């Protein structure tokens, strides 16, 4: 079931703090991150798999790269799945040692390969061309290969990555010859990787992908290459709607580890969950600026738009919404919740029943922790918003809101235009 919040006197509380108080103290929009929930999610997924075999969780930090959140996961013992030199350096800054980071890029430049290799971070190679280039840049580097499993799954076509013909990974028919070539090139070959996509809700595609990986592990072993790990990528979905079921982690873990243990000598499983770890740990608070009846539809205009949370506009994603200061109050009408961006596609929620909204109300957008802040932008010259960490009744700023001056900081006006 979707995460629910504590209600005190008709007000939503997050980690023991009334949501409107957080909004008043730090301003809106603001992303509110619940530390205990992040830790709990990490432990859930780690323990579900570790019960069956040696498992390493590599948090897919693209979901949320705030340094404080990375610190929490570093303390929990997580590793990192990084997709860019920016993510690698951010995680080093947060205290992860290079051996806990794996770099999985796509369309990777020589410059980035060199920088990542020099930092001592393992590289998960996405193409034959990348392998040949890396062999010149960093001979003998520790590597694994991302393969295209021919199995895809996800909440939107935009995030399905594993299907045949995908831009990601080594095509199936070239995998074995690529491992042979990598061996000839003298790479330190560690494992094999695949990622089906993001936000899928069923176990089957993971099993289909795992069968593909297992068959490859055994074919590669015939070349005399013994892989140390299988990395099954990320993609564990979470419930965004009140009645949606959670994926059965125990079923997923027992089925997958069973397959690995029955059919291979692989000792270590790697998982790269992003969404599962941070999604329901973060709430976006946004203030109602305006309420409007168009004659066709009623609108609640809030101060967060697709510049703050792009998922509804970009993927048509559903995020549950509530009015924090009228929490649990009777609903009056249906509303679209829309932002301040000057495009009709700017919305956070369509057709939701809500208690009568008024300017000044504080709304909560649920499940905003994964790909929320990390995909936010400055469109319409709106500064990026603040992030706050809440724990045990206390709230701390973990990212200042930008100012308009920040938007000008890296711009130059040629003298002749002055």
Of 346, 283, 399, 311, residue with least CA distance to 20: 283
Question: Given candidates 320, 371, 373, 384, which one binds ligand LLP under the rule CB under 6 A?
Answer: 371
Is residue 63 part of the contact set for ligand LLP (CB under 6 A)? yes
- Minimum distance, C-beta of residue 314 to ligand LLP, in the bound complex (Å): 8
Site string for ligand LLP, 290-309 (x = CB under 6 A): --------------------
CB 47 within 8 A of CB 403: no
Q: How far is CA 281 from CA 21, 29, 164, 243, 255, in A?
A: 18, 16, 34, 18, 27
Question: Given candidates 149, 199, 312, 355, which one binds ligand LLP under the rule CB under 6 A?
Answer: 199
Of 159, 141, 143, residue with least CA distance to 192: 143
Q: How far is CA 53 from CA 50, 56, 313, 381, 394, in A?
A: 5, 10, 40, 49, 37
Q: How far is CA 40 from CA 85, 280, 281, 304, in A?
A: 29, 11, 9, 28
Beta-carbon count within 10 A of 11 CB: 19
Is residue 126 part of the contact set for ligand LLP (CB under 6 A)? no
Of the candidate spans 26-34, 248-256, 270-278, 345-353, the one that interacts with ligand LLP by CB under 6 A turns out to be 270-278
Of the candidate spans 46-54, 227-235, 281-289, 381-389, the one that interacts with ligand LLP by CB under 6 A turns out to be 227-235
Is residue 73 part of the contact set for ligand LLP (CB under 6 A)? no
Give whichever of 335 and 373 is closer to ligand LLP, judged by the CB atom.
373
Q: How far is CA 89 from CA 95, 118, 249, in A?
A: 10, 12, 31
Site string for ligand LLP, 128-167 (x = CB under 6 A): -------------------------------x-x------
Q: Which of 91, 331, 342, 385 is catalytic?
A: 342
Question: Given candidates 87, 272, 303, 346, which one binds ligand LLP under the rule CB under 6 A?
Answer: 272
Q: Is residue 342 annotated as a catalytic residue, yes or no?
A: yes
Give whichever of 377 and 403 is closer to ligand LLP, judged by the CB atom.
377
């Amino acid at each position: 079931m979707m995460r629910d919040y504590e209600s005190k006197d008709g007000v939503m509380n997050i980690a023991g703090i009334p949501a409107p108080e957080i909004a008043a103290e730090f301003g809106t929009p603001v992303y509110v991150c619940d530390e205990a929930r992040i830790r709990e999610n990490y432990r859930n997924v780690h323990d579900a798999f570790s019960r069956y075999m040696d498992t390493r969780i590599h948090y897919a930090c693209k979901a949320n790269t705030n340094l404080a959140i990375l610190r929490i996961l570093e303390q929990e013992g997580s590793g990192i799945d990084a997709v860019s030199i920016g993510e690698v350096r951010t995680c080093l800054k947060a205290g992860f040692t290079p051996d806990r980071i794996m770099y999985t890029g796509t369309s990777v430049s020589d410059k980035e390969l060199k920088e990542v290799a020099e930092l001592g971070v393992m590289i998960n190679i996405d193409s034959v061309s990348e392998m040949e280039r890396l062999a010149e840049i960093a001979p003998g580097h520790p590597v694994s290969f991302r393969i295209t499993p021919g199995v895809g799954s996800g909440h939107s076509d935009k995030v399905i990555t594993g299907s045949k013909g995908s831009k990601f990974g080594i095509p199936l028919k070239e995998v074995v010859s690529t491992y042979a070539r990598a061996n000839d090139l003298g790479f330190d070959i560690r494992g094999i990787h695949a990622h089906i996509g993001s936000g899928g809700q069923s176990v089957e595609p993971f099993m289909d992908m795992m069968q593909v990986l297992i068959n490859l592990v055994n074919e590669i072993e015939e070349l005399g290459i013994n892989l140390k790990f299988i990395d099954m990528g990320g993609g564990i979905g979470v419930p965004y709607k009140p009645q949606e079921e959670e994926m059965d982690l125990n079923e997923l873990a027992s089925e997958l580890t069973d397959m690995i243990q029955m059919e291979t000598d692989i000792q270590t499983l790697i998982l790269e969950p992003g969404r599962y770890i941070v999604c329901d740990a973060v709430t976006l608070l946004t203030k109602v600026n305006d309420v409007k009846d168009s004659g066709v539809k009623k609108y609640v205009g809030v101060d967060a738009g697709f510049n703050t949370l792009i998922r509804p506009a970009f993927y048509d994603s559903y995020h549950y919404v509530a009015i924090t200061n009228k929490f649990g109050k009777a609903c009056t009408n249906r509303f679209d919740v829309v932002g301040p961006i000057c495009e009709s596609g700017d919305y956070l929620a369509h057709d939701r029943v809500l208690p009568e909204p008024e300017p000044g109300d504080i709304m909560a957008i649920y499940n905003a922790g994964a790909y929320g802040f990390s995909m936010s932008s400055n469109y319409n010259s709106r500064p990026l918003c603040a992030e706050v960490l809440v724990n045990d009744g206390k709230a701390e700023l973990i990212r200042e809101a930008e100012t308009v001056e920040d938007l000008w900081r890296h711009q130059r006006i040629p003298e002749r235009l002055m």
